[in-house]
Chain A
Amino acid sequence: MKNVLIYSERLELAAELVSAGRFVASAAGGSLRALSVGDADLAGFLASRGADVLEIRSAEQPPADPAQIAQALRVAAESAGAGVILLASNRRGKEIAGRLAQELGAGCLTDVGRLEAAEGRITGVRNALGGATEVFQAVTTERQVLALRPGVFAAAPEAAPGAVQFLDVPLPEPKIRLRETRAKAGDAVDIGRAEVLVVVGQGLADREDLALAERIARALGGEVACTKPVATDRRWLAEDRIVGLSGKTCRPALALLLGVSGQVQFSVGIRDAGTIAAINRDDQAPVASLSDYFLQADLKAVLPDLAGRFPDT
């Protein structure tokens, strides 16, 4: 069971898993297979990234019941001789991970932020204690289920196409029935993939100053994001713009933190940024040691000036 099976219903995450799967497969001396459940586009896409694909037909794509996907993965893992099953650690992926691991009698790691392979053992690194620590973990069972955070591996580029093989697997009757899919309130921006982020915290005192942060973000070709209380308590921004443990893990090339104190639950979401610059009134706040460049200043006083230096586009 040296082989690796990957699955995500999302094309961009599946492409990252192809890279991750190759990394694990080469460490284990095995080969890679990718699964598609009822989604011919996904199967074709995976093949175009050079992966050999197993496709299982289903009425719904993707099935709303995680138990059905877990069943498809079980059969596919058996057929592929896969010891390692790699999933994306988005919400759907995490939900499947636990179910699949239980049914396989396997250990499971979710939200894996780094994978290391040495002496035939795979180690996953994840945040623990709200991001205060990183824990290095290894699954000890014969089969392992690992769910990787988006962005950990680069998407696999186009390659000589892999083969698509159909597996005839009757999926169980769904116990979860989809009534409706709707767009999320908010603006469907993915701050996790932004190159530049301007992040506002509770040190931004007035809601009208948000427009200044937005102006800077636009001028730098980035997005505005926020700490949790700005979205959940003040409701100034949609919750999909939260950076941190209860929001997204972001890896921008540049992050500008405005009035962010830098609590660990936040910092876990920005730790992987290329460069971090911050403005805060308090130079003893944790954000001072979290940043490459720190300016101690009263945000209310300096923000209009800062924004004024950028064209209002």
Chain B
Amino acid sequence: MNIVIAMKQVPDLQQVRIRDRRPVLEGVPLLMGDIDRSALAAAVALQDVVAGKRIVLSAGDENLEDTVKEALAAGADEAALVIDNRLRDADSAFIAKVLAEAVRRIGDVGLLLFGEGSADNYSGQVMSRVAAILGWPQAGYVREIRLEGGKAVLTRSLEDCEEVVEADLPVVASVVSEIAQPVTPSVTAILRAGRKPKTVWGLSDLGLEGPQPKVVENLEQLAPLGERKGIVLKSLEDLLAVLRAKEKP
């Protein structure tokens, strides 16, 4: 049985600049999001109990072959990539369709992992959509995974409690960052990663047409206006006065 880790190529958010309230993405390096890297680390940790392969699955533009190297160096055995420039602006619904189709082709997948949300958009829909398409059980916000025979026992971290749930494999899960520390690979591991097997599909290889009409339209994207007073205080006394004024009687 294989474990598939779905990872999303995102811009390095530390390097996104704002100009005239709009984000500047040109020249910003692409990488795999941190929570996705935690999902990969969690899959690697299951190495002793799962004999199959850990396969990184990602869909995106031509930069993906380069971006995926770090994941291969961080412990993935193989990469399955859907590379098509028509995927650049694809919405969650279309990406879910693409990933589900890729999972079907990979075959013998027991566990399909996602990060709880992508670093750039954080909408957290794709996991649930893929689960719906495949008809597999799903559990979100998982912080611990145990495999018992043909079952997964998952600890799901909700706002006010934790739930331990079980489901028959195959299962789709999204994980929270607490599940595992991302692995930062060594330089030699990165060099060796180039030799690990990669399968590359285009959309037509998966029998898919270009993006369907979008189900969500982006109308505008703007940096929020800071509307703060920006008063510089001279002393602790000034600060105390501010806090006291706001204190409830």
Contact = CB atoms under 8 A, between A and B. Distances in A.
Interface string A283-301: 1000011111111110000
B18 A132 contact: yes
Interface in A64-101: 64-67, 70, 90-92, 94-99, 101
A102 interface: yes
A208 to B, nearest CB: 20
Contacts of A17: none
Contacts of A70: 132
Contact of B217 (A140, A277, A279, A305): A140
Interface string A175-205: 1111111111000101000011000000000
B137 to A, nearest CB: 4
A129 interface: yes
Nearest to A127: B122
A188 B161 CA distance: 8
B49 interface: no
Given A67-B138, A293-B231, A138 B219 contact: yes
Given A97-B125, A108-B125, A130-B120, A291 B219 contact: no
Interface string A126-148: 11111011111111110000000
Contact of A134 (B16, B120, B129, B221): B221
B214 A140 contact: yes
Interface string B207-234: 0000001111111111110101111110
Nearest to B162: A182
Contacts of B220: 135-136
Contacts of B218: 135-137
Interface string B104-124: 000000000000000111111
B177 to A, nearest CB: 7
B18 A293 contact: no
Interface residues of A, number: 88
Given A98-B128, A140-B213, A90 B178 contact: no
A91 B141 contact: yes
Contacts of A292: 228-231
B159 interface: yes
Interface string B162-178: 11111110000010011
A64 B93 contact: no
Interface stretch (A27-35, A46-54, A239-247): A239-247
Contacts of A181: 161-164
B23 A133 contact: yes
Interface in A268-313: 271, 274-277, 279, 283, 288-297, 302, 305-306, 309
B168 A175 contact: yes
A96 B138 CA distance: 10
B176 to A, nearest CB: 9
Contact of B243 (A95, A182, A254, A302): A254
Given A99-B132, A176-B165, A265-B13, A240 B137 contact: no
A101 B93 contact: yes
Interface of B: 11, 13, 16, 18, 22-23, 91-93, 96, 119-129, 131-133, 136-141, 153, 157-168, 174, 177-178, 213-224, 226, 228-233, 235-236, 238-240, 242-243, 246-248
Given A67-B138, A129-B11, 17 more contacts: A64-B165, A67-B132, A98-B132, A99-B138, A108-B123, A109-B216, A133-B23, A134-B224, A135-B220, A136-B221, A181-B161, A196-B246, A220-B247, A246-B177, A288-B230, A293-B239, A293-B242
Interface of A: 64-67, 70, 90-92, 94-99, 101-103, 105-111, 123, 126-130, 132-141, 175-184, 188, 190, 195-196, 216, 220-221, 232, 239-240, 245-246, 253-254, 256, 264-265, 271, 274-277, 279, 283, 288-297, 302, 305-306, 309
21 contacts: A66-B128, A67-B131, A67-B132, A90-B159, A91-B159, A95-B174, A98-B92, A101-B215, A107-B216, A108-B92, A108-B123, A123-B219, A175-B168, A176-B137, A179-B153, A180-B163, A181-B164, A221-B248, A265-B13, A277-B243, A295-B235
